Amino acid sequence: MARTQGSHSDITGPKVREAALRLFAQQGYAAVSMRKIAAEVGVQAGALYNYTPDKQSLLFDLLRGHMDELLAVRAAQPVINDPVAALEEFTRFHIRFHAKRPDAVFISYMELRNLEPENFINIEGLRRDYEAQLEAILQRGMAEGLFQIPDPRIATMAIIAMLTGVNTWYSAEGRLKLSEIEEIYCDMVRMAVEMK
Amino acid sequence: MARTQGSHSDITGPKVREAALRLFAQQGYAAVSMRKIAAEVGVQAGALYNYTPDKQSLLFDLLRGHMDELLAVRAAQPVINDPVAALEEFTRFHIRFHAKRPDAVFISYMELRNLEPENFINIEGLRRDYEAQLEAILQRGMAEGLFQIPDPRIATMAIIAMLTGVNTWYSAEGRLKLSEIEEIYCDMVRMAVEMK
């Protein structure tokens, strides 16, 4: 399948990242060599070093790229002041964004262990930025007397785990469409936090 | 560290499983050879085959052992008829059982992809058995007019993802003790399902 040939770097860069993402998700970071990635892309192993200094940089680029995209797409959403509507929007956004990127989500959780310390801190910081957006919605809802939440930090982690969990069982051929799943999660998340 | 020497099989069996669990969790199944496991245990690579026919069997044994233990420990819990109390007990049980076994939980999610089809079906069946226990509690609560749940199957998956998610951030040195975390999750889970 994989042909060994020269390629233009503007094409090969994305191809290298795609191949690395696919292979890391299938086999795990430790099992995938630079040689395997090169073969998958169809370049000589040596040529890969034109695009990335090493395998760790590739892993970091993938995890960093995933978080950068998540934060950029979110930043482009309209601001919603009503906490109930904002929570619903966050729920739908999270499910939709993550369901579209199963490999990136999978390695973002599974391969954290293989990040070098400074890279880990970097990714952790971006995750905290994202989590802080949900926590701010929950805090606002509490301040306005709309939400009743025992611990907003823990509720943030619980809601994100619940939503990301969709990726472990969702199938496009399943009983429910993604839009229906979003609907059900919106109800559950709202019920979990709203003032009785 | 690892010594290469003969061992009695009643000691070496558990040691092989412990070593495989640790190595699979650290490096991923695909990156760990039978030779690496043997070196970790301190036996010759050939001797490993006295304890397990191959690496796939080892992975399956670990995932199966984890599920068997989960179901056995649960089966030994007293039956609780009140759905609200049963849901609280399930929440506490799930968090406590999983927090104690981070490596087993980690590979149970991450290495599903590396199970051969018949092994995958087997583990999936055991997971369904476990999930069915929570779903039965939710159904009972609905039947008794105590719970209000848009889709009990999805709610089951959402609650389990939320609870297992504790493993991704819990630390014994963290802000909250596990018993406090259990308390907060009990509140959130109850709030998410109870009739308003």
Looking at the structure of chain B, the number of domains it has is 2
CB contact under 8 A, A192 and B192: yes
Which residues in A lie closer than 8 A to residue B169 (C-beta atoms)? 157
Are the CB atoms for B118 and B112 separated by under 8 Å? Answer: no
Domain boundary among A52, A70, A88: A52
- The pLDDT value given to residue B1: 45
Same structural domain, A86 and A161: yes
Average pLDDT for runs of 10 along chain B of length 196: 50 90 95 95 90 94 98 95 97 97 95 96 98 98 96 97 95 94 96 90
Q: Is the pLDDT of residue A54 over 50?
A: yes
Residue A103 has pLDDT above 90, yes or no: yes
- Looking at residue B79, the DSSP 8-state letter turns out to be P
The residue of chain B with its CA nearest to that of A151 is B184
Domain of A33: which CATH number? Answer: 1.10.10.60
d(CA B92, CA B87): 9
Distance to chain B for A77, nearest Cα, Å: 25
For A140-174, the three-class secondary structure string (H helix, E strand, C coil) is HHHHCCCECCCCHHHHHHHHHHHHHCHHHHCCCCC
**Region A62-81 average pLDDT:** 96
User: What is the b/e burial string over B106-138, where b = at least 16 CB atoms within 10 angstroms of the residue's CB?
Assistant: bbbebbbbbbeeebeebbeebbeebbebbbebb
Residue pointed to by tokens 């990127």? A101
CATH assignment of the domain containing A161? 1.10.357.10
Size of interface A-B (CB pairs under 8 A): 105
* Model confidence band, residue A10 (pLDDT cutoffs 50, 70, 90): low
Asked if residue A173 and residue A157 are part of one domain, the reply reads yes
Asked if pLDDT for residue A170 goes beyond 50, the answer is yes
Average pLDDT over residues A179-183: 96
Q: Is the domain of B117 the same as that of B96?
A: yes
The mean pLDDT value of chain A amounts to 93
Q: Does A159 touch chain B (CB under 8 A)?
A: yes
Residues B22 and B117 in one domain: no
| Predicted local confidence at residue B10, as pLDDT | 64
Q: pLDDT digits over B46-62, tens only?
A: 889 888 999 999 999 99
Tell me which of A164, A181, A190, A191 to substitute to probe the interface with B (most B C-beta atoms closer than 10 Å): A191
Task: Indicate yes or no: CB of B161 within 8 angstroms of CB of A161.
Answer: yes
CA A155 – CA B184 distance, rounded (Å): 8
d(CA B76, CA B73): 5
In this structure, the answer to whether residues A96 and A132 fall within a common structural domain is yes
Identify whether residues B132 and B70 lie together within a single domain.
yes
Shared domain check, A72 and A42: no
Phi, psi of B189 (to 5 degrees): -65, -45
| Structural domain span for residue A18 | 1-52
Nearest CA in chain A to B33: A31
Chain B residues within 8 A of A166 when measuring between CB atoms: 157, 161
What whole-number distance in Å separates Cα of residue B108 and Cα of residue B110? Answer: 6
Same domain, B104 and B136: yes
First to last CA, chain B: 59
Residue range A68-95: average pLDDT? 97
End-of-domain residue from the set A37, A52, A67: A52
Q: What is the per-residue pLDDT for B4?
A: 46
Q: How do residues B89-103 score in pLDDT, each as one tens digit?
A: 999 999 999 999 999
Residues A101 and A140 in one domain: yes
- Supply angle C-alpha A154, A64, A49, rounded to 5: 150
A40 and A80 belong to one structural domain: no
Using the Cβ of A5 and the Cβ atoms of chain B, whether some distance falls under 8 Å is answered with: no
Same domain, B109 and B28: no
Provide the pLDDT for residue A4: 47
ipTM associated with this complex: 0.90
The CA-to-CA distance between both ends of chain A, in Å, stands at: 60
Residue B26 forms contact with A (CB below 8 Å): yes
pLDDT at A6 over 70: no
Same domain, B118 and B42: no
Residue A8: predicted pLDDT: 53
